[in-house]
C-alpha cells in the first residue's frame, strides 16, 4: 500500500504489526520472506521457507497488478461484477400484480393551532392538500421555517433546498388546481439523507473530504418521489460515510434529549421527523442505520428487503447490504412512501421485480386467516434493557387478537467483516491518500480504523464468509418457512445483524418511554419481499397504542 500508518494507527489495527518493518504492498521496499511470514500470521497461517520461496515471484507480480489497478480511478457509483442474491433455494417471488388500499381515516381538518401541523401524518396532510384546505406552498414554507428554527440545536440539516422546494410546491398546487392529482404524496414536503444525489445541490456524505462534492444527477429514489409530487425541502445529516451521528458539522441531536446524539447513520432523517421538521424522510440501512436512530428518536422506520429499492445515485458503502427506506410518524405512512419508491430500475442490477399488495383496511381477525405471526422466544426470554416494554408489546399483540408462535433463529456466523471489507473497497482511495485523516471521528469504533483493518481481510476469507452467508439464508428460510411476520427485540440477540445479512425487511416502531422520557422500540420482521403483510401487522399493533403520537414538548411551539 502507498499509505504509511502512524505508530498509533498501527497499534489500533493489530499489535502484531509492530513487528513489521513495512507493509506487504508498499512500493518503497520490496517484499521479502519476513514480510510474507508476518502477513501469514495475520491470517492464522504458517508457511515453510520453501513454500515462501515458491510464492515470491508470484507475490511480486500480484503487487504490480495491484499498483496497476490503483492507477484506474473508480467512482463510488461503480459496483463490483458480483451481485448478492438473498433468495434461498426454492424461494419463488410472487408474480401477482400490485395493489394498494390505504386504511380508513376519519375527517381531517386544519388545526386551530397551525403548529400542530408539524405532527400530522403524511396521510392527514395529503387529505388537507387534496381538499385544498392548505396549499403545498404554504405547507412547504411552514416546514422550511421549522427547519430553520430548530436545526441550530438539532444539527440535522446539511443543505436546505428552499428554492427547489418552493418551485416544486407551486407546481404541485397548479396541478392539483387543474385536477391533476398524483396521489397521497402530492405536495408533501420531505427530507433526504445526504448520501442521495440531487442535481444542483451538494451531496456531502456527511464527511469533510466530500463536503463540497456535487453529483450531477438525481438519485432514482429522488426521481420517484418527484414523480409522486413530493417536495424536497432539505438534505439531512448522516454520520460521516454512514457511521453514527457525528458529521463534519457536529453531532446530530435526539429531540427527546438533546444531550444525546440521535444515533445513526440516518441521524438527520430520524431527528427531523421526530421534531416535526418534515413529515417524512428517506434513510438508509446497512447494519442498523434505520433501526437505531428510529429507536433513539421515537419514529417509525422501514428497512425494505434487499433488492427492493434502487440505490442508483446513492453513496455505496456495502454493495451486498445497503438498503434505502422511509422514516415516518406511522406505519401507514411507511406504506405510502414505499409504494412510491420501490421497484425495478435498469441502472441497478441488484433489484428484483416483486409486487406490493398492501391493504390497510384489514382487521386483525381478517389477517389471522392469512398471516402467521411469530416471536423469537429465546431472545425475549433473556435479561436485557427495555425487556418490560417488549413484554408489554407481546401482551398487546395477543390482546388485539394475534396468536404468537415461538420461533428459533439459526446460530449467527461471525461474518460481519463482509461489511468492513466492502466499505474499505468503496473508500479505498480515501485510505491510500491519507484523506481519511480528515474525518472528524478517529476513534477505534469509526470508519478510518475499520477501513485500515479491512485491508487485512484475505479475499479467501471474504469469499468463505459469503458462503457461510448462503448457509445462513438457507437456515433462515427453513426455520421461518411457515411464518409471515415475527417480532424480535430491536437490539437484544442477533436479529438485527442476522436479518441485515440475509436481506429480510423490518419495521421498527416506538413501544414505550423510559423513566427518562426517551423512546424504546420493537422490531417486526417480514419474509423476503413481504413488506405488505409486515406493514399490515405492524400497523395493527401501532394503532392499538399511542406511543407514536407523543412528541417532544419543546418542539411543539
CB-based contact 47:55 (threshold 8 Å): yes
Q: Are strands 257-261 and 253-254 parallel, antiparallel or unpaired?
A: antiparallel
Residue environment code for 95-121, b if the CB has 16+ CB neighbours within 10 A, otherwise e: eeeeebebbeeeebeeeeeeeebbbbb
pLDDT at 18 over 90: no
Q: Over range 464-475, report the average pLDDT.
A: 98
For range 179-200, the mean pLDDT: 98
| pLDDT score of 94 | 87
Residue 43: predicted pLDDT: 87
pLDDT of residue 95: 87
Q: What is the sign of the dihedral through the CA atoms of 16, 20, 22 and 24?
A: negative
Mean pLDDT value of segment 153-160:
98
> For residue 103, what pLDDT band results from cuts at 50, 70 and 90?
very high
The owner of cell 454520520 is: 239
Query: Taking the CA atoms of the chain, what radius of gyration do you get in angstroms?
Result: 24
Q: Which three cell numbers stand for residue 370?
A: 392469512
Whether 448 shows a pLDDT value over 90: the answer reads: yes
- Using the predicted structure, report yes or no on whether residue 484 has a pLDDT greater than 90: yes
Q: How far apart, in Å, are the Cα atoms of 431 and each of 14, 245, 371, 444?
A: 17, 21, 48, 15
- Give the tens place of pLDDT for each residue, 108-148: 999 999 999 999 999 999 999 999 999 999 999 999 999 99
Which CATH number applies to 108-413+466-555?
A: 3.90.1300.10
pLDDT (tens digit, 9 = 90+) per residue, 237-281? 999 999 999 999 999 999 999 999 999 999 999 999 999 999 999
Evaluate if residue 25 carries a pLDDT over 50: no
- Report the distance separating Cα 337 and Cα 327, nearest Å: 9
The CA distances from residue 100 to 338, 484, 524, 536, 540, in Å, are: 11, 19, 20, 12, 16
Mean pLDDT of 76-89: 95
Task: Say what the pTM is.
Answer: 0.93
pLDDT of 1: 39
Q: Please give the distance of CA 550 from its chain centroid, rounded to a whole number.
A: 24
Let me know: does 234 contact 241? Beta carbons within 8 Å.
Answer: no
Each residue's pLDDT tens digit, 395-427: 999 999 999 999 999 999 999 999 999 999 999
Asked if residues 432 and 447 have their Cβ atoms less than 8 Å apart, the reply is no
pLDDT of residue 22: 31
pLDDT tens digit sequence for 2-14 = 444 444 444 333 3
Beta-ladder partners of 314: 196
Is the per-residue pLDDT at 309 higher than 50? yes
pLDDT at 16 over 60: no
Domain ranges of the chain: 1-72, 108-413+466-555
Q: Can you give the pLDDT at residue 20?
A: 33
Smallest CA-to-CA distance from 221 within 159, 304, 143 is with 304
Q: State the average pLDDT over residues 81-110.
A: 94
Whether residue 387 has pLDDT greater than 90: yes
CA atoms within 13 A on the CB side of 204: 21
Cβ 185 vs Cβ 203: under 8 Å:
no
What b/e readout covers 125-158, taking b as 16+ CB neighbours within 10 angstroms?
A: bbbbbeeeebbbbebbbbbbebbeebbeebbbbb
Task: Give pLDDT tens digits for 539-550.
Answer: 999 999 999 999
Residue 265, preceding peptide bond in cis (omega within 30° of 0): yes
Give the pLDDT band of residue 29 (cuts 50, 70, 90).
low
What is the percent of the chain with per-residue pLDDT over 70, rounded to a whole number?
95
Amino acid at each position: 500500500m502507498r499509505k504509511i500508518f502512524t505508530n498509533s494507527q498501527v497499534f489500533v489495527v493489530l499489535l502484531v504489526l509492530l513487528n513489521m518493518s513495512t507493509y506487504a504492498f508498499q512500493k518503497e521496499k520490496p517484499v521479502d520472506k519476513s514480510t510474507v511470514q508476518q502477513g501469514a500470521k495475520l491470517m492464522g497461517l504458517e508457511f515453510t521457507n520453501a513454500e515462501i520461496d515458491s510464492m515470491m515471484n508470484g507475490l511480486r507480480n500480484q503487487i504490480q497488478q495491484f499498483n496497476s489497478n490503483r492507477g484506474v480511478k473508480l467512482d463510488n457509483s461503480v459496483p463490483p461484477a458480483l451481485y448478492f442474491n438473498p433468495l434461498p433455494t426454492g424461494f419463488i417471488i410472487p408474480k401477482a400484480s400490485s395493489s394498494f388500499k390505504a386504511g380508513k381515516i376519519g375527517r381531517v381538518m386544519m388545526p386551530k393551532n397551525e403548529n400542530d401541523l408539524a405532527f400530522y401524518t403524511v396521510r392527514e396532510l395529503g387529505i388537507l392538500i387534496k381538499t385544498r384546505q392548505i396549499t403545498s406552498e404554504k405547507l412547504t414554507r411552514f416546514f422550511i421555517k421549522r427547519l430553520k428554527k430548530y436545526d441550530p440545536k438539532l444539527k440535522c440539516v446539511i443543505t436546505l433546498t428552499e428554492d427547489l422546494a418552493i418551485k416544486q410546491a407551486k407546481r404541485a398546487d397548479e396541478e392539483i388546481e387543474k385536477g391533476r392529482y398524483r396521489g397521497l404524496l402530492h405536495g408533501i414536503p420531505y427530507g433526504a439523507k445526504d448520501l442521495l444525489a440531487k442535481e444542483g445541490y451538494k451531496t456531502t456524505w456527511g464527511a469533510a473530504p466530500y463536503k463540497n462534492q456535487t453529483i450531477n444527477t438525481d438519485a432514482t429514489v429522488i426521481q420517484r418521489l418527484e414523480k409522486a409530487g413530493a417536495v424536497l425541502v432539505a438534505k439531512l445529516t448522516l454520520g460521516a460515510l454512514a457511521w453514527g451521528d457525528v458529521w463534519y458539522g457536529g453531532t446530530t441531536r435526539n429531540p427527546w434529549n438533546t444531550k444525546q446524539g440521535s444515533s445513526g447513520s440516518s441521524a438527520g432523517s430520524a431527528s427531523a421527523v421526530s421534531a416535526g421538521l418534515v413529515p417524512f424522510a428517506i434513510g438508509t440501512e446497512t447494519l442498523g442505520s434505520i433501526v437505531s436512530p428510529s429507536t433513539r428518536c421515537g419514529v417509525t422506520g422501514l428497512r425494505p428487503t434487499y433488492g427492493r429499492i434502487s440505490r442508483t445515485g446513492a453513496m455505496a458503502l456495502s454493495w451486498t447490504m445497503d438498503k434505502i427506506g422511509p422514516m415516518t410518524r406511522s406505519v401507514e405512512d411507511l406504506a405510502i412512501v414505499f409504494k412510491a419508491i420501490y421497484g425495478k430500475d435498469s441502472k441497478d442490477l441488484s433489484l428484483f421485480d416483486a409486487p406490493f399488495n398492501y391493504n390497510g383496511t384489514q382487521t386483525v381477525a381478517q389477517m389471522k386467516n392469512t398471516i402467521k405471526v411469530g416471536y423469537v422466544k429465546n431472545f425475549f426470554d433473556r435479561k436485557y434493557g427495555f425487556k418490560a416494554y417488549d413484554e408489554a408489546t407481546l401482551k398487546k399483540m395477543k390482546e388485539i387478537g394475534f396468536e404468537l408462535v415461538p420461533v428459533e433463529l439459526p446460530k449467527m456466523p461471525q461474518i460481519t467483516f463482509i461489511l468492513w471489507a466492502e466499505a474499505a473497497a468503496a473508500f479505498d482511495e480515501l485510505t491510500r491518500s491519507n484523506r481519511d485523516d480528515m474525518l472528524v471521528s478517529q476513534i477505534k469504533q469509526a470508519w478510518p480504523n475499520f477501513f485500515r483493518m479491512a485491508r487485512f481481510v484475505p479475499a479467501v476469507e471474504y469469499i468463505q464468509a459469503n458462503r457461510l452467508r448462503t448457509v445462513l439464508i438457507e437456515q433462515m428460510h427453513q426455520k421461518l418457512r411457515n411464518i409471515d411476520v415475527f417480532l424480535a427485540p430491536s437490539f437484544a440477540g442477533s436479529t438485527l445483524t442476522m436479518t441485515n445479512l440475509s436481506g429480510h425487511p423490518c419495521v421498527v416502531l416506538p413501544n414505550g418511554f423510559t423513566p427518562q422520557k426517551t423512546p424504546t422500540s420493537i422490531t417486526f420482521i417480514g419474509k423476503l419481499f413481504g413488506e405488505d403483510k409486515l406493514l399490515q401487522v405492524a400497523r395493527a399493533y401501532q394503532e392499538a397504542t399511542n406511543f407514536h403520537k407523543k412528541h417532544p414538548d419543546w418542539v411543539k411551539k
